[in-house]
Structure 1
Amino acid sequence: MKLLTNYKYWILNLIGWVVFALLMLTIDKISYAGDIPINYTNYLIVEGVLCGLLGYLLSFIILFFIENFFDIGNYTKVDVYKLIGVVLVTQVIYNFLLWPLLGIPVQYYLNEGVNLTLVQKLTNVPHFLAYFLVWLFVVLTLKLVHHINTIKLRQLQLEANLKESQLNTLKGQINPHFMFNSLNNIRGLMLEDVTKARGMLTSLSETLRYSLTKSEVNSITLEDELEMVENYVEISKIQFENRLKFTTEIDPETLNKQIPPMIIQMLVENALKHGISNLKEGGEVKLSTTIKNELLQIEIINSGKLRNSENSTQVGLQNIKKRLELLYGKNAKFTLKEKEDNVVATIKMPLV
């Protein structure tokens, strides 16, 4: 924030100096003087204006030093001493110019010369110095507030860039993770049923096309995500055959809500890989969505037990947790628990 090049500052600074000088000098004298001649009142007004104008002009010397040689965010003791020195030099110039200037209205309104002794003039130095100290306090406060806001803005930008980088990294984990499992399924099917393998490849290509087109965004509608899930389930049914039963219970009001892309697919994939695949007789995966307490709730229930496999890296679950945390902070929640021979995965997130 450069005040030297800000015309609004020039105007406000001029008004501030003149009004402050009139309040502290002219009005103070008038209020204690009682009945005074009109010419003396006029003189006091001119005196206040001249003091304010001179202070206004000389304040630019101090401001020039602050904006070019004094870093409000990284100053040293030497810088402070230099600033004090500049203020004192400005005071010398102010008092050196002020008294000859005041001699003009004295001659005009009072028809007499300025006969103040040196001691009388020196006793006014602290009074005039107070003007500059008040102005300096205001300017340094403005500079400090701007510096703090700049730091906050940079911190927010860094946090936003970090979140974006982390999200991109997490998105990059989705497609390889999904492809690895799907290609393994196709490999196992190639020697058994070429026709089914061809159908599986077609569904896989549609799924990958969808996932690649959505990888550049942080959110999609739930309706679009369900299309992706249906394709994935079709691929999985070729592998599981009659061992997989997939049902949905979707609240129509949730279809247009925004969710992170492929987050439901990863839940379904986790349910199949760690739930249905471990059951010889197969099982059921049920997907439901609803709105409760102004939160979008997505629930996946699959047959099986909640167990930790030594071969599982839990990439999908960690991915889901981290993406929800980055996108929604504490406003989103992901839970995974076992209930009556079923595993229940639940996501709650703000409505978007």
Structure 2
Amino acid sequence: MKIILQRLQINPKFLGLIFFFAYLDSIRSRVSPGQLVDWYILTPESAVFSLIQALVIFFILQFSFSWLQLSPQVSIPWKKSMFSFGKGLIIFLLVSNAFTMALALAFGTWERNYQTYIQLSGNISRILDFVIYGGFYLALLLFQQFKSHQRQLKDYEVALAQSKITHLKQQLNPHFLFNNLNILDQLIEENPKSASAFLHNFSELYRYSLKNSDCQLVTWQEELEFAESYFQLIAEKFGKAYEMKITLDNPQGKLPPLTLQLLIENAVFHNYGTVENPVKINLTLGERLTVSNTRIPFKNPRHKGGKGLANLREQYRILSSKPIFVSEENGLFSVSIPFIP
């Protein structure tokens, strides 16, 4: 039986449903108004015969529909499907009539069974059985094809999302490298000793960047540790012109790699801090990650940039259904990002 089920691409539950339907139908056909109800009505032999007949119909339909290749992107060829269904019906009628003829000849009941009205009634019944049980089987095949293609589409979407995230990270790594090499270049001219310390710290940070380049997410603890080390680089270059405060309020979840670094860098890049009037950067990790900074725009604003924040938005569009909020009011620029479970 297991081989038959595998061959027909059906499971025991579906077969049980067919038997249950056949059993109820046999009871219905035996009940008529005014007839006494007895145990014969509940006997299952008719349902067993109907189940065997249904299996024959399934085999014929599987052969008839073997050419179909269904796809979610392509409309189902109903005309060809109905042609194959009709072809299966003809094959079923030929097989079932040949079988009854063989039985009639074997048991000598030809004259009794092969009267015109009996044959007409029998073939109408066979047609109805084929349409009913064949309809069940066709619906099952179409459902299985649909589920299979849905799984393929889901696998494709996951692979595509992973590919996009990898591409976005490949954009961020050169961005991180280029900006910090610019700082290093300035330090070499201004303060060679600081440049040496900066280079050492930068190499450690870039190692972290490379290590997590294949990770979609990292823990908030890893990101925070990286952000603190990154801010040390900022302090090497700008001294106390930029200040950072961290507030922890029971954060839970993960973040894309380099998220905090990108937001801190964004605050430094777009604001002119001095020792007398420093840019204050606040990191708040609670239900969401919020990075805010006081706005002290340059007198001659730099180019808009914004590639890093746009990159982060795109990563979150793929990884989470929760949005990123960006606001600016009362001299405070703020970016609020959800944690990802």
Query: Normalised by the size of structure 1, how large is the TM-score?
Result: 0.80
CA distance in 1, matches of 2:255, 2:9: 46
Q: Which residue of 2 aligns with 1:288?
A: 283
- SS of the aligned residue for 1:266 comes to helix
Question: Is residue 2:336 matched to residue 1:340?
Answer: no
Q: 1:72 to 1:31 in 2, by over 3 A?
A: farther
In 1: Cα distance, 2:269 partner to 2:254 partner:
26
Which stretches in structure 2 are left out of the alignment for 5+ residues?
none
Structure 1 counterpart SS, 2:325: strand
How far off is 1:179 after superposition? 1.1
Question: Given the alignment, which residue of 85, 88, 108 partners 1:86?
Answer: 88
Q: In structure 2, how many angstroms separate the alpha carbons of the residues matched to 1:119 and 1:186? A: 100
Unaligned runs of 5+ in 1: none
**For the structure 1 residues 100 and 288, does the alpha-carbon distance in structure 2 shift closer, same or farther, using more than 3 Å as the test?**
same
Pair 1:336–1:173, CA change in 2 (3 A): farther
User: How far apart are 1:196 and its partner, in Å?
Assistant: 0.9
> Alignment partner of 1:207: what SS?
helix
Given that 2:255 and 2:339 are in contact with CA atoms closer than 8 Å, whether structure 1 keeps it comes out as no
- Which digits, 9 at most, give the CA deviation of each residue in 1:297-350, with x for residues without a partner? 322223414999562331111112111211112x1323142x3333x2222314
Question: Where in structure 2 are the equivalents of 1:310-349 lying within 5 Å?
Answer: 311-329=303-321, 331-337=322-328, 339-342=329-332, 344-349=333-338
Partner of 1:265: 261
- SS of the residue aligned with 2:190? coil
Report the secondary structure of 1:298's partner residue: strand
Instruction: Return the alpha-carbon distance in structure 2 between the equivalents of residues 186 and 82 of structure 1.
Output: 73
Note the 1:148-167 alignment, pairs <5 A.
148-167=146-165
Output one character per residue of 1:149-183: Cα deviation in whole Å (capped at 9) or x when no partner: 22322222222112111111111122211111111
**Equivalent AA in structure 2 for residue 187 of structure 1:** D
Q: 1:169 aligns with which of 153, 167, 178?
A: 167
Deviations 1:25-72 (A, max 9, x none): 57624646846999xx69x97666546534533541222222x22334
CA distance in 2, matches of 1:99, 1:47: 20
C-alpha distance 14-243 of structure 1, shift in aligned 2 (>3 A)? closer
Structure 1: distance between partners of 2:53 and 2:330? 85
Cα gap change, 1:199 to 1:130, in 2 (>3 Å): same
Q: Which moves more between the two structures, 17-26 or 113-122?
A: 17-26
- The structure-2 alpha-carbon separation of the partners of 1:23 and 1:169, relative to structure 1 and needing over 3 Å to count, comes to closer
Instruction: State whether structure 2 residue 29 is matched by structure 1 residue 28.
Output: yes
Contact 1:283–1:303 (8 Å) recurs in 2: no
- 1:202 offset after TM fit, Å? 0.7
Show the counterpart of 1:65: 64
The answer for the alignment partner of 1:300 in structure 2 is 292
**1:76-100 per-position Cα deviation (integer Å, ceiling 9, x unaligned):** 6345324312311211221332365
Shift of 1:16: 6.2
The verdict on how the C-alpha distance between 1:349 and 1:102 changes in structure 2, with shifts beyond 3 A counting, is farther
Distance 2:6 2:51 in 1: 21
Letter matched to residue 91 of structure 1: L
Amino acid paired to 2:234 = S
Aligned mates of 1:299, 1:307 — CA distance in 2: 23
Check 1:320–1:32 CA distance in 2 against 1; reply closer, same or farther (3 A cut).
same
Indicate whether 1:133 and 2:131 are aligned: yes
Supply the distance in 2 between the matched residues of 1:225 and 1:61 (Cα, whole angstroms): 61
Aligned partners of 2:103 and 2:300: how far apart in 1? Answer: 89
Identity of aligned residues (%): 20
CA contact (8 A) 2:60 2:91 kept: no
Q: Distance in 1 between matches of 2:284 and 2:38?
A: 86
- Residue in 2 that maps onto 1:144: 142
Matched pairs, number: 334
TM-score, normalised by the number of residues in structure 2: 0.82
**RMSD over aligned Cα atoms:** 3.7
Gap change, CA 1:137 and 1:149, over 3 Å in 2 = same
Contact 2:205 2:230 in 1 (8 A): yes
